[in-house]
């Protein structure tokens, strides 16, 4: 890795938590310089603008979550248990090295839906990849005869995502972790009932 690549990576790693907790609009150039200890000129010597830093920070935060989920999924042998990983990881996210601020897909989607088309596209692409992965898992469960043949894989995938992201949003909004637990218990029941 060249010095320029190391500097870019340093900037991304130091600013990713800011964008995931404060959002794009809430993160100032001063926040970026404070977090990195670099000057504005140094940051813009490595990135064209704040947008480019934010997009790279989103990718970094998302990669952290995907890495956690993939590592846990690899430990499972049944499709049902692979699906349950999503519920269990999001229910116990403090146990894992999640990015500060929580799920970058939800955080970015909420902020960028009307204000930042490039970040919105990143969040939409991440959602789409998640939906595709879950849909494939459910289809595999049907093929393996773990799940009923009449199960609609895309509907299940969308419902799991909606329950997880809804649980995260409601918990962040209210501060009540018992709400997250209640919603995620419903997600577990949904997965159990696929048999």
**pLDDT tens by residue, 49-103:** 999 999 999 999 999 999 999 999 999 999 999 999 999 999 988 888 889 988 9
Domain ranges of the chain: 3-192
Nearest CA to 141 out of 129, 132, 151, 131 is that of 151
Q: What is the pTM of this model?
A: 0.92
In the chain, what percentage of residues exceed pLDDT 70? 100
- Could you say which DSSP state residue 192 is in? H
Burial pattern 49-58, b for ≥16 Cβ within 10 A else e, equals ebeebbbbbb
Confidence of residue 192 (pLDDT cuts 50, 70, 90): very high
In the chain, what percentage of residues exceed pLDDT 90? 88
Confidence of residue 114 (pLDDT cuts 50, 70, 90): confident
d(CA 99, CA 17): 6
For residue 43, give both structure tokens: 């940051």
Per the CB < 8 A criterion, the answer to whether 64 and 94 are in contact is no
Please tell me the CATH code under which domain 3-192 is placed: 1.10.357.10
Which stretches of the chain are DSSP H helices? Answer: 3-26, 29-36, 40-46, 50-74, 79-91, 104-112, 117-143, 153-174, 177-192
Flag whether pLDDT at 119 surpasses 80.
yes
């Amino acid at each position: 890795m060249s010095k320029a690549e190391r500097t870019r990576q340093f900037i991304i790693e130091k600013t990713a938590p800011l964008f995931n907790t404060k959002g794009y609009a809430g993160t100032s150039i001063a926040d970026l310089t404070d977090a990195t200890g670099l000057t504005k000129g140094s940051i813009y010597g490595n990135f064209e603008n704040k947008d480019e830093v934010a997009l790279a920070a989103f990718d970094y935060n998302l990669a952290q979550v995907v890495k956690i989920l993939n590592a846990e999924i690899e430990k499972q042998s049944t499709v049902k248990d692979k699906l349950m990983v999503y519920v269990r990881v999001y229910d116990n996210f403090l146990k894992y090295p999640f990015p500060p601020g929580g799920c970058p897909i939800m955080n970015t989607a909420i902020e960028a839906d009307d204000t930042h088309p490039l970040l919105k596209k990143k969040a939409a692409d991440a959602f789409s990849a998640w939906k595709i992965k879950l849909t494939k898992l459910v289809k595999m469960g049907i093929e393996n005869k773990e799940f009923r043949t009449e199960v609609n894989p895309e509907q299940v995938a969308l419902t799991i995502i909606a329950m997880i992201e809804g649980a995260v949003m409601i918990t962040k909004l209210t501060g009540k972790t018992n709400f997250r637990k209640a919603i995620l218990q419903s997600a577990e029941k949904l997965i159990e009932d696929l048999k």
